[in-house]
Protein backbone atom coordinates (compact mmCIF):
# COMPACT_ATOMS: atom_id res chain seq x y z
CA UNK A 1 0.00 0.00 0.00
CA UNK A 2 1.17 3.51 -0.74
CA UNK A 3 1.37 6.21 1.87
CA UNK A 4 -2.00 7.73 0.96
CA UNK A 5 -3.71 4.32 0.90
CA UNK A 6 -2.33 3.45 4.32
CA UNK A 7 -3.63 6.69 5.77
CA UNK A 8 -7.12 6.18 4.30
CA UNK A 9 -7.23 2.54 5.38
CA UNK A 10 -6.31 3.53 8.93
CA UNK A 11 -9.16 6.04 9.00
CA UNK A 12 -11.65 3.31 8.14
CA UNK A 13 -10.33 1.15 10.97
CA UNK A 14 -10.64 4.06 13.36
CA UNK A 15 -14.36 4.22 12.53
CA UNK A 16 -14.69 0.47 13.05
CA UNK A 17 -12.87 0.62 16.40
CA UNK A 18 -14.94 3.58 17.60
CA UNK A 19 -18.20 1.79 16.77
CA UNK A 20 -17.05 -1.43 18.40
CA UNK A 21 -15.79 0.30 21.55
CA UNK A 22 -19.03 2.28 22.02
CA UNK A 23 -21.46 -0.54 21.09
CA UNK A 24 -22.66 1.49 18.13
CA UNK A 25 -23.28 0.87 14.46
CA UNK A 26 -21.87 2.63 11.43
CA UNK A 27 -24.45 4.48 9.37
CA UNK A 28 -23.93 5.35 5.71
CA UNK A 29 -25.96 8.52 5.14
CA UNK A 30 -25.86 8.42 1.33
CA UNK A 31 -26.96 4.78 1.08
CA UNK A 32 -29.19 4.93 4.19
CA UNK A 33 -27.65 1.68 5.43
CA UNK A 34 -26.61 0.49 8.87
CA UNK A 35 -23.56 -1.71 9.47
CA UNK A 36 -22.59 -3.53 12.61
CA UNK A 37 -18.86 -3.11 13.19
CA UNK A 38 -18.37 -6.74 12.11
CA UNK A 39 -20.37 -6.33 8.93
CA UNK A 40 -18.49 -3.12 8.15
CA UNK A 41 -15.17 -4.96 8.66
CA UNK A 42 -16.27 -7.79 6.37
CA UNK A 43 -17.44 -5.43 3.65
CA UNK A 44 -14.64 -2.85 3.74
CA UNK A 45 -11.81 -4.55 5.64
CA UNK A 46 -9.75 -5.15 2.49
CA UNK A 47 -10.54 -1.88 0.75
CA UNK A 48 -7.65 -0.40 -1.19
CA UNK A 49 -8.22 3.18 -2.22
CA UNK A 50 -6.56 6.55 -2.26
CA UNK A 51 -6.89 8.88 0.67
CA UNK A 52 -9.14 11.23 -1.30
CA UNK A 53 -11.53 8.37 -2.15
CA UNK A 54 -11.56 7.25 1.49
CA UNK A 55 -12.20 10.85 2.57
CA UNK A 56 -15.26 11.18 0.35
CA UNK A 57 -16.49 7.78 1.57
CA UNK A 58 -15.98 8.81 5.19
CA UNK A 59 -18.01 11.98 4.67
CA UNK A 60 -21.08 9.75 4.43
CA UNK A 61 -20.27 7.54 7.43
CA UNK A 62 -21.12 8.23 11.06
CA UNK A 63 -20.93 6.16 14.22
CA UNK A 64 -24.35 6.11 15.88
CA UNK A 65 -26.31 4.35 18.54
CA UNK A 66 -29.08 2.74 16.48
CA UNK A 67 -31.48 2.71 19.42
CA UNK A 68 -31.22 6.49 19.78
CA UNK A 69 -32.24 6.89 16.14
CA UNK A 70 -35.11 4.44 16.64
CA UNK A 71 -36.40 6.50 19.56
CA UNK A 72 -36.17 9.66 17.46
CA UNK A 73 -38.00 7.92 14.60
CA UNK A 74 -40.68 6.68 17.00
CA UNK A 75 -41.14 10.19 18.38
CA UNK A 76 -41.54 11.60 14.86
CA UNK A 77 -44.03 8.87 14.02
CA UNK A 78 -46.09 9.58 17.15
CA UNK A 79 -46.09 13.30 16.29
CA UNK A 80 -47.30 12.52 12.75
CA UNK A 81 -50.04 10.24 14.10
CA UNK A 82 -51.17 12.91 16.57
CA UNK A 83 -51.28 15.49 13.77
CA UNK A 84 -53.29 13.15 11.54
CA UNK A 85 -55.72 12.41 14.38
CA UNK A 86 -56.26 16.14 14.90
CA UNK A 87 -56.85 16.63 11.16
CA UNK A 88 -59.31 13.71 11.09
CA UNK A 89 -61.20 15.08 14.10
CA UNK A 90 -61.37 18.52 12.49
CA UNK A 91 -62.66 17.04 9.23
CA UNK A 92 -65.25 14.92 11.06
CA UNK A 93 -66.51 18.03 12.89
CA UNK A 94 -66.73 19.89 9.58
CA UNK A 95 -68.63 17.04 7.93
CA UNK A 96 -70.92 16.70 10.92
CA UNK A 97 -71.67 20.43 10.78
CA UNK A 98 -72.33 20.23 7.03
CA UNK A 99 -74.57 17.25 7.55
CA UNK A 100 -76.47 19.00 10.36
CA UNK A 101 -76.91 22.27 8.46
CA UNK A 102 -77.67 20.39 5.25
CA UNK A 103 -80.47 18.47 6.97
CA UNK A 104 -81.95 21.67 8.31
CA UNK A 105 -81.94 23.18 4.82
CA UNK A 106 -83.61 20.09 3.36
CA UNK A 107 -86.24 20.07 6.14
CA UNK A 108 -86.91 23.77 5.60
CA UNK A 109 -87.39 23.21 1.87
CA UNK A 110 -89.73 20.30 2.47
CA UNK A 111 -91.92 22.46 4.73
CA UNK A 112 -92.49 24.94 1.91
CA–CA distance, 40 with 102 (Å, rounded to integer): 64
Average pLDDT, the chain: 81
Q: For 21-73, what is each residue's pLDDT tens digit?
A: 999 999 999 898 999 999 998 888 777 766 667 777 888 899 999 888 777 77
Q: Residue 111's pLDDT is what?
A: 63
Q: Residue 6's pLDDT is what?
A: 46
Q: Residue 57's pLDDT is what?
A: 81
Q: Residue 77's pLDDT is what?
A: 87
97-101 mean pLDDT: 85
Q: Provide Rg for the chain, Cα atoms.
A: 28
Amino acid sequence: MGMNEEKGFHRLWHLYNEAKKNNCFIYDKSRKMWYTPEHFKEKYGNIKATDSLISSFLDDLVVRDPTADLHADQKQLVEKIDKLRAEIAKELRRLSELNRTGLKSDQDRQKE
